[in-house]
Structure 1
Amino acid sequence: MDAQFKTKRRIVLKASAMALSAALLATGLSACSKGDSGSTEQHVLRVGFVSSNADSEQYYRQQFTDGYELTHENVDIQIVGAVNYDDQRYEEPDPNKKQPDIYAEVKKMMEGSNPPDVVIMDSGVLKRLVQDNMVKNLDSYIQDNKFDIEDIVPSVINGIKDIGDNSIYALTPTFNSSALYFNKKMFADAGIDQPTDNMTWPDVITLAKRIAKGEGKERKFGLAFNRYGSDPFWDSQTYAAPLQLKMFDNTAEKMTVDQPGWKKVWTDISDLYLNKIIPSQEDLNNGADGGIIKDKAVYNPFQGDLFLSGRVAMSVNGYDYVSQLSSVKDAAAKNPKIPSVDWGVVTVPQFTEVPGVGGNISLSNLMAINAKAQNSDDAWEFIAFNNGKQWAELKSRSTYEMVSRKSFLKPKDGMDYNIEAFYTLKPVPPQDPAIDKLYQDKPNLYQVQNIAQQLFQEVLQKKKSVDQALKEWQTKGDVMLQKIKTNPNGPLEGDGGGVIGEPRPLD
């Protein structure tokens, strides 16, 4: 997610939160305030987040707490964070300094002398907290308060239950998701049936190969894993996410990549690039979508977005892309020179090995009650409020996040599209907590993937076969794992060593 998108998204979310607070007051929801908690005395509810900095509290309040505080006048909300990133922002880089263990800091916050009552986190942190018995089971709260969970999107509630071994330890008011967008006209022109829900990856890849055609700047591509170009290696990781392939064992001492599963993934993605089914960076830079052509500047407001430019038939994108497509349609109505894509959307393709699981559903605002909460009743009321129907009805106006209550999930602004495509599949389960801990204990583990990125490029350059590349990754990775075992924090010599600015785990 680029910085411009993050900024835009934050502005929209802040505006939405402010509108939410005003609307809640206007609807008289304050009736659920003073009387429900059983106390009219002024008291504090502490809400904890995994990370914070000087700028984040205002955002957290506008996004999560303002509406509650305005309708619960006897409650003062305090925001606390487990990790303050301002502490690192002004430090000089030190490659030998171990980075903070995020989960350890979360535990410290929750077990402190003045712990938060509510903790808001993503699914990976929740899974570890559940295993360590640090959050309360919400099933009894839901039953005793007759709290409606039947209206919550099945993929969301089932994803939460998967984390808690079929029990509910948290609720989330929103989720992020992706789907497969497709260009209806490209399929009609090619005389090929459009994609449908619940297709498998082999079926979609076959479609992509059939529809791709042309040469050079006239080339039409069958598929892309996002709206803009990306690194082929990371495309392979996006593609393989539901398979949860492991790069190394649970001790980080032995690589596990010279395996049929990895070979299938690398073969599939490299084949798509080599046959120009997916656009490469070179294709994006060839001048057909703006930039400089023969020393003349060419303006294109959709430069780099080949789906909007009508050159990619299918693209995996987030729900927020609906807003972009809507704005393009509005602009095209005013300016006939602007092309408007006639699009549809279906579920992200599935693997037969893990049916019903999609790779792009994210549960990042999970709200749980700390097992050591000093104010459990208000903590539950806060969670119930933020996950209630009134909140969802107002929040559903956003096109950047989806609300978890399906009765308020409707196409935006009178548009007609298959909104169920975004929430039919279950999310990929969180990564094994043992692997998370390895990355914390051995920060150098992220360097092992550097080897893979280079080798994947060599496959695309036809310098190596997939078999050769994976065997080399296995061999070099084993050597590096032994070096990391000896030196888990400091710089490594050779074999793909270096500094990674924004590490991303592979498993």
Structure 2
Amino acid sequence: MNKKTKLTRKWIMSGLTLSLLVPTLAACNTNKQEDSDSVRTLRIGTMYGSKQDEQYFRQQFTDMFEFTHSNIEIEVVPAIDYSEMQFGDQTEQAQVDPLKKIKDIMTGSNPVDVMIINDLSMLGTLVNENLLKQLDPMLKEDEIDINEFVPTVIDGIKEEGNGFLYGLTPTYTPSALYYNKKIFSKAGVELPTDGMSWDQVFNLAKRLKSGTGKDSVFGFSFNQWGAGDNYWDVQNFAAPLQLRMYDEKAETMTVNTPQWEAIWKSATDLYKDHVTPHQDDMQYGPTDGGMGAGKEVYNPFQGQLFMNGKVAMTVGDYGLINQIQQLNDNSEKLKMDPLEWDVVSMPYHVGKEGIGGSIYLNQLSGINANAANSEDAWEFVKFMNGKEWAKLKARSTYELSARKEYVKPRDGMTYNVEAFTKMKPAPQLNSSLKDQELLRNAPNLNLISELGTKYYAEVIEGKKTVKEALTEWETKGNDLLQKIKTNPKGAIEGYGETGGGGVVRPL
């Protein structure tokens, strides 16, 4: 075959190929045109929002989905509008019922298809109200392996769904126990490990306390900022135990018990023994007293005693790694020693193994049981929790991916990242349907907690023993509960203004 014949044959074959491709391309264009002609609206509900922050929400959740699904338009529907709260009648705000507002957009004449839930306990509430579709059958049909997700995330969601999945989240914000390797080494104390109880951690902390004044080193702090006199830290510490302040009818106090006494005593003993820092200790800088010693040296981590090498162990969320990285990258400029650190899993309370506090699943997406567009709703939930989206979200420096494949240490860093995956979230206090209803109907019940803050402070100040404080809290609390029963929302003499529990606060 000569060269001219070969060339002729080549052009003939190319022509045949093109002739076969033309109808295919035409069909693709026709299908694309048909798709574009059948544009559908997907209504996505949020717990809170406004027109002003809708752009941010779309960037975080929906822009990529709309880009890849050109025939689906997203409509964002907030249950509670920030702007209405800001500019509306302040007296009416106290009457806002978040659950009612959410139910309104899920059960009205034009219900939302997807609900984005920022609160794990609200997920459980919506499940019990039969407002969400179970996702397990859809996951099975699409052959999505739930074992590819972090078990603690899935277990936490299932606990709110009575053993089933009614929502998924692409990311979560866990906490862990951070520790300073140098302090342990200098004290000759063994390093902490995953799976320790609170008692074990506190025993380590007592062995690590040393020095006085500007030379003090503290064994532990309940938060990265340091001071150990914060009542809310104790509430978080006790969260896995689900200790109640009053009974389910809000008629009788339940704080004068051995469990409450043990929790308060553990925390206040650490404070009294100076194992945890006091407010006065917050002034000291990294090694020489810093600004507290009269030196005008700027320290962006002033007051964060763990960052300054003054606390051996602290509870911190995943975002604390950002600050550690910042410090270590700029240690020479700050004239500070780089932090030699690592993390272990959150400690547990005996009897509540596997449960740790302060784990937030704040991007939960579920499908409304009343959705008019349930197929696109599932497509959105599936996309939001798929591998492609997980790969993008894995870049976050404040959250971890819920997919095991993308749970990795930051580039250039080495630490025990698995510590953030081992503990299930602790149930939130007063998160049951009955408790939420009690607080909505009687916002003055928040005064009971404020009373607890007062008595805890008196223990810290040495004015009362733990037993005395809890006994008095019980007595005064029972009296207050009776007054709240007759006056659930108005001012109560001797207790200031209303507790304000009904005012909606952004989560």
Q: Same fold (TM over 0.5)?
A: yes
Q: 1:280 aligns with which of 261, 278, 281?
A: 278
Note the 1:197-346 alignment, pairs <5 A. 197-229=194-226, 231-285=229-283, 290-291=290-291, 293-294=293-294, 297-332=296-331, 334-335=332-333, 337-346=335-344
Q: 1:66 aligns with which of 63, 66, 70?
A: 63
Distance 1:504 1:362, change over 3 A: farther
Hey, what's the Cα distance between the residues in 1 that align with 2:153 and 2:349? Answer: 20
Q: 1:412 aligns with which of 407, 410, 431?
A: 410
Q: Is the 8 A contact 2:253 2:477 kept in 1?
A: yes
> Which residue of the partner structure matches residue 77 of structure 1?
74
- Output the TM-score relative to the length of structure 2: 0.88
Q: Is the 8 A contact 1:289 1:303 kept in 2?
A: no
> Which residue of the partner structure matches residue 441 of structure 1?
441
Query: What are the superposed Cα offsets for residues 301-321 of structure 1, whole Å, 9 maximum, x if unpaired?
Result: 220110111000001000011
Note the 1:424-463 alignment, pairs <5 A. 424-430=422-428, 431-463=431-463
- Output the TM-score relative to the length of structure 1: 0.88
> Which residue of the partner structure matches residue 102 of structure 1?
98
Query: What are the superposed Cα offsets for residues 115-170 of structure 1, whole Å, 9 maximum, x if unpaired?
Result: 11000112111101111111101111111111221110000011111111111111
Query: Which letter does structure 2 place at the counterpart of 1:76?
Result: E
Q: Which runs of 5+ in 1 are unaligned?
A: 1-30
Hey, what's the Cα distance between the residues in 2 that align with 1:97 and 1:324? Answer: 37
Q: Is the 8 A contact 1:235 1:269 kept in 2?
A: no
Hey, what's the Cα distance between the residues in 1 that align with 2:464 and 2:35? Answer: 70
> Which residue of the partner structure matches residue 475 of structure 1?
475
Q: Which runs of 5+ in 2 are unaligned?
A: 1-27
Query: What are the superposed Cα offsets for residues 361-398 of structure 1, whole Å, 9 maximum, x if unpaired?
Result: 11121111000000000000000001001111111011
Give the drift of 1:289.
Answer: 5.3
Q: Is the 8 A contact 2:198 2:349 kept in 1?
A: yes
Q: Is the 8 A contact 1:350 1:356 kept in 2?
A: yes
> Which residue of the partner structure matches residue 136 of structure 1?
133
Query: What are the superposed Cα offsets for residues 271-327 of structure 1, whole Å, 9 maximum, x if unpaired?
Result: 011111111212113677544545x53422220110111000001000011111112
More deviation, 55-64/154-163: 55-64
1:115 aligns with 2:111: yes
Hey, what's the Cα distance between the residues in 2 that align with 1:74 and 1:384? Answer: 17
What is the root-mean-square deviation of aligned Cα atoms in Å?
2.3
Query: Which letter does structure 1 place at the counterpart of 2:353?
Result: P
Q: Secondary structure at the match of 1:345?
A: strand
Hey, what's the Cα distance between the residues in 2 that align with 1:382 and 1:164? Answer: 20
> Which residue of the partner structure matches residue 43 of structure 1?
40
Note the 1:128-167 alignment, pairs <5 A. 128-167=125-164
Q: Is the 8 A contact 2:115 2:367 kept in 1?
A: yes
More deviation, 312-321/97-106: 97-106
Note the 1:479-490 alignment, pairs <5 A. 479-490=479-490
Q: Is the 8 A contact 1:226 1:317 kept in 2?
A: yes
Q: Is the 8 A contact 1:98 1:489 kept in 2?
A: no
Query: Which letter does structure 2 place at the counterpart of 1:148?
Result: D
Taking only the aligned residue pairs, the percentage that are identical comes to 44
Hey, what's the Cα distance between the residues in 1 that align with 2:289 and 2:222? Answer: 18
Distance 1:416 1:397, change over 3 A: same
> Which residue of the partner structure matches residue 21 of structure 1?
none
Q: Secondary structure at the match of 2:147?
A: coil
Q: Is the 8 A contact 1:147 1:384 kept in 2?
A: no
Distance 1:504 1:264, change over 3 A: farther
Q: Secondary structure at the match of 1:335?
A: helix
> Which residue of the partner structure matches residue 492 of structure 2?
492
Query: Which letter does structure 2 place at the counterpart of 1:130?
Result: V
Distance 1:404 1:341, change over 3 A: same
Note the 1:165-176 alignment, pairs <5 A. 165-176=162-173
Hey, what's the Cα distance between the residues in 1 that align with 2:449 and 2:504? Answer: 9
Q: Is the 8 A contact 2:93 2:504 kept in 1?
A: no
Q: Is the 8 A contact 2:447 2:495 kept in 1?
A: no
Query: Which letter does structure 2 place at the counterpart of 1:258?
Result: N
Query: Which letter does structure 2 place at the counterpart of 1:107?
Result: K
Q: Secondary structure at the match of 1:456?
A: helix
Hey, what's the Cα distance between the residues in 1 that align with 2:375 and 2:405? Answer: 27
Note the 1:334-413 alignment, pairs <5 A. 334-335=332-333, 337-413=335-411
Q: Is the 8 A contact 1:447 1:497 kept in 2?
A: no
Query: What are the superposed Cα offsets for residues 243-270 of structure 1, whole Å, 9 maximum, x if unpaired?
Result: 1111111111111101111101100000
1:183 aligns with 2:183: no
> Which residue of the partner structure matches residue 13 of structure 1?
none
Q: Is the 8 A contact 1:195 1:204 kept in 2?
A: yes
Hey, what's the Cα distance between the residues in 1 that align with 2:441 and 2:403? Answer: 38
Hey, what's the Cα distance between the residues in 1 that align with 2:363 and 2:338? Answer: 34
Query: Which letter does structure 2 place at the counterpart of 1:265?
Result: I
Query: Which letter does structure 1 place at the counterpart of 2:382?
Result: A
Distance 1:45 1:498, change over 3 A: closer
Q: How many residues align?
A: 469
More deviation, 165-174/284-293: 284-293
Q: Is the 8 A contact 2:106 2:370 kept in 1?
A: yes
Q: Secondary structure at the match of 2:438?
A: helix
> Which residue of the partner structure matches residue 22 of structure 1?
none
Hey, what's the Cα distance between the residues in 1 that align with 2:116 and 2:501? Answer: 26
Give the drift of 1:50.
Answer: 0.8
Q: Is the 8 A contact 2:444 2:498 kept in 1?
A: no
Hey, what's the Cα distance between the residues in 2 that align with 1:446 and 1:246? Answer: 13
Q: Is the 8 A contact 1:289 1:309 kept in 2?
A: no
Query: Which letter does structure 2 place at the counterpart of 1:110?
Result: M
Query: What are the superposed Cα offsets for residues 188-244 of structure 1, whole Å, 9 maximum, x if unpaired?
Result: 000000100000000000000000011112110011111114552112111111111
